[in-house]
Amino acid sequence: MDLSNTLMESLGIRITSLDEDMVVMTMPVDERTHQPAGFLHGGANVALAESAASIGAYQHVDPETHNVFGIEINANHIKSKREGTVTARAEPLHKGKRTMVWEIRITDEQNQLLCISRCTISVVPKR
Protein backbone atom coordinates (compact mmCIF):
# COMPACT_ATOMS: atom_id res chain seq x y z
CA MET A 1 0.00 0.00 0.00
CA ASP A 2 1.41 3.37 -1.03
CA LEU A 3 1.50 5.85 1.86
CA SER A 4 3.26 8.62 -0.07
CA ASN A 5 1.75 12.11 0.06
CA THR A 6 -0.43 11.23 3.05
CA LEU A 7 -0.61 12.14 6.73
CA MET A 8 0.95 8.76 7.41
CA GLU A 9 4.03 9.67 5.38
CA SER A 10 4.28 13.05 7.15
CA LEU A 11 4.25 11.34 10.56
CA GLY A 12 6.68 8.60 9.51
CA ILE A 13 4.10 5.81 9.92
CA ARG A 14 5.07 2.47 8.38
CA ILE A 15 3.12 -0.74 7.83
CA THR A 16 5.07 -3.68 9.23
CA SER A 17 2.42 -6.40 8.91
CA LEU A 18 -0.92 -6.52 7.16
CA ASP A 19 -3.65 -9.14 6.92
CA GLU A 20 -7.41 -9.25 7.40
CA ASP A 21 -7.29 -9.85 11.15
CA MET A 22 -4.22 -7.87 12.25
CA VAL A 23 -2.57 -4.68 11.10
CA VAL A 24 0.75 -3.68 12.66
CA MET A 25 2.13 -0.20 12.07
CA THR A 26 4.97 1.78 13.62
CA MET A 27 5.47 5.49 14.17
CA PRO A 28 8.55 7.37 15.36
CA VAL A 29 8.39 9.54 18.45
CA ASP A 30 10.26 12.63 17.27
CA GLU A 31 9.73 16.28 16.34
CA ARG A 32 6.95 15.27 13.89
CA THR A 33 4.88 13.58 16.59
CA HIS A 34 5.72 15.64 19.71
CA GLN A 35 3.48 18.10 21.48
CA PRO A 36 5.13 21.38 22.59
CA ALA A 37 6.48 19.94 25.88
CA GLY A 38 8.41 17.27 23.96
CA PHE A 39 6.16 14.27 24.64
CA LEU A 40 4.28 12.09 22.15
CA HIS A 41 1.17 14.00 21.08
CA GLY A 42 -2.12 12.23 21.82
CA GLY A 43 -3.38 13.29 18.41
CA ALA A 44 -0.48 11.46 16.77
CA ASN A 45 -1.56 8.31 18.62
CA VAL A 46 -5.11 8.81 17.34
CA ALA A 47 -3.87 9.34 13.77
CA LEU A 48 -1.87 6.11 14.04
CA ALA A 49 -4.84 4.23 15.50
CA GLU A 50 -7.33 5.38 12.86
CA SER A 51 -4.83 4.69 10.08
CA ALA A 52 -4.36 1.12 11.29
CA ALA A 53 -8.12 0.53 11.62
CA SER A 54 -8.89 2.04 8.21
CA ILE A 55 -6.18 0.05 6.45
CA GLY A 56 -7.41 -3.09 8.18
CA ALA A 57 -11.01 -2.43 7.17
CA TYR A 58 -9.92 -1.81 3.59
CA GLN A 59 -8.70 -5.42 3.46
CA HIS A 60 -12.32 -6.57 3.88
CA VAL A 61 -13.91 -4.66 1.01
CA ASP A 62 -13.75 -4.68 -2.76
CA PRO A 63 -11.89 -1.42 -3.50
CA GLU A 64 -13.57 -1.26 -6.91
CA THR A 65 -17.01 -0.92 -5.31
CA HIS A 66 -16.48 0.41 -1.75
CA ASN A 67 -14.56 2.95 0.32
CA VAL A 68 -13.97 2.90 4.07
CA PHE A 69 -14.03 5.92 6.39
CA GLY A 70 -13.47 6.31 10.11
CA ILE A 71 -16.69 7.65 11.67
CA GLU A 72 -15.84 7.47 15.39
CA ILE A 73 -12.71 6.97 17.43
CA ASN A 74 -11.88 7.08 21.10
CA ALA A 75 -8.53 6.79 22.78
CA ASN A 76 -7.34 6.40 26.34
CA HIS A 77 -3.79 7.69 26.72
CA ILE A 78 -2.24 5.65 29.50
CA LYS A 79 1.44 6.50 29.31
CA SER A 80 3.59 8.90 27.33
CA LYS A 81 6.96 8.80 25.66
CA ARG A 82 9.67 11.27 24.58
CA GLU A 83 11.60 9.32 21.94
CA GLY A 84 11.80 6.00 20.16
CA THR A 85 9.09 4.13 18.28
CA VAL A 86 5.52 3.14 19.04
CA THR A 87 3.70 0.18 17.52
CA ALA A 88 -0.02 -0.07 16.82
CA ARG A 89 -1.72 -3.46 16.59
CA ALA A 90 -5.25 -3.26 15.20
CA GLU A 91 -7.69 -6.17 15.37
CA PRO A 92 -11.31 -6.30 14.22
CA LEU A 93 -13.99 -6.73 16.88
CA HIS A 94 -16.85 -6.60 14.37
CA LYS A 95 -16.74 -6.99 10.58
CA GLY A 96 -20.15 -6.05 9.19
CA LYS A 97 -21.34 -5.12 5.72
CA ARG A 98 -21.87 -1.44 6.63
CA THR A 99 -19.68 -0.89 9.67
CA MET A 100 -16.63 -2.40 11.31
CA VAL A 101 -15.23 -1.90 14.80
CA TRP A 102 -11.49 -2.20 15.42
CA GLU A 103 -9.49 -2.23 18.65
CA ILE A 104 -6.04 -0.68 18.47
CA ARG A 105 -3.35 -1.11 21.13
CA ILE A 106 -0.34 1.20 20.93
CA THR A 107 2.76 0.03 22.78
CA ASP A 108 6.39 1.03 23.21
CA GLU A 109 9.54 -0.99 22.54
CA GLN A 110 9.08 -2.87 25.85
CA ASN A 111 5.48 -3.76 24.89
CA GLN A 112 4.12 -1.39 27.58
CA LEU A 113 0.64 -0.10 26.75
CA LEU A 114 0.64 3.61 25.93
CA CYS A 115 -2.80 3.97 24.34
CA ILE A 116 -5.90 1.85 23.80
CA SER A 117 -8.33 2.92 21.13
CA ARG A 118 -11.52 1.76 19.45
CA CYS A 119 -12.45 2.94 15.96
CA THR A 120 -15.71 2.51 14.07
CA ILE A 121 -15.36 2.34 10.30
CA SER A 122 -18.13 2.96 7.79
CA VAL A 123 -18.20 0.90 4.59
CA VAL A 124 -19.55 3.14 1.82
CA PRO A 125 -20.48 2.06 -1.72
CA LYS A 126 -18.81 4.07 -4.49
CA ARG A 127 -21.20 5.92 -6.76
Average pLDDT over residues 66-76: 98
Q: What is the pLDDT of residues 85-99, one digit of tens each?
A: 999 999 999 999 999
List residues with catalytic annotation. 50
- Which structural domains are found in the chain, ordered by start? 7-125 (3.10.129.10)
pLDDT given at position 33: 98
Average pLDDT over residues 92-107: 98
pLDDT given at position 117: 98
| pLDDT band of 1, cuts 50, 70, 90 | confident
As a whole number of angstroms, the distance between CA 43 and CA 65 comes to 31
Average pLDDT, the chain: 97
| DSSP letter for each residue of the chain | ---TTSHHHHHT-EEEEEETTEEEEEEEESTTTB-TTSSB-HHHHHHHHHHHHHHHHHTTS-TTTEEEEEEEEEEEE----SSEEEEEEEEEEEE-SSEEEEEEEEE-TT--EEEEEEEEEEEEE--
pLDDT at 24 > cutoff 90:
yes
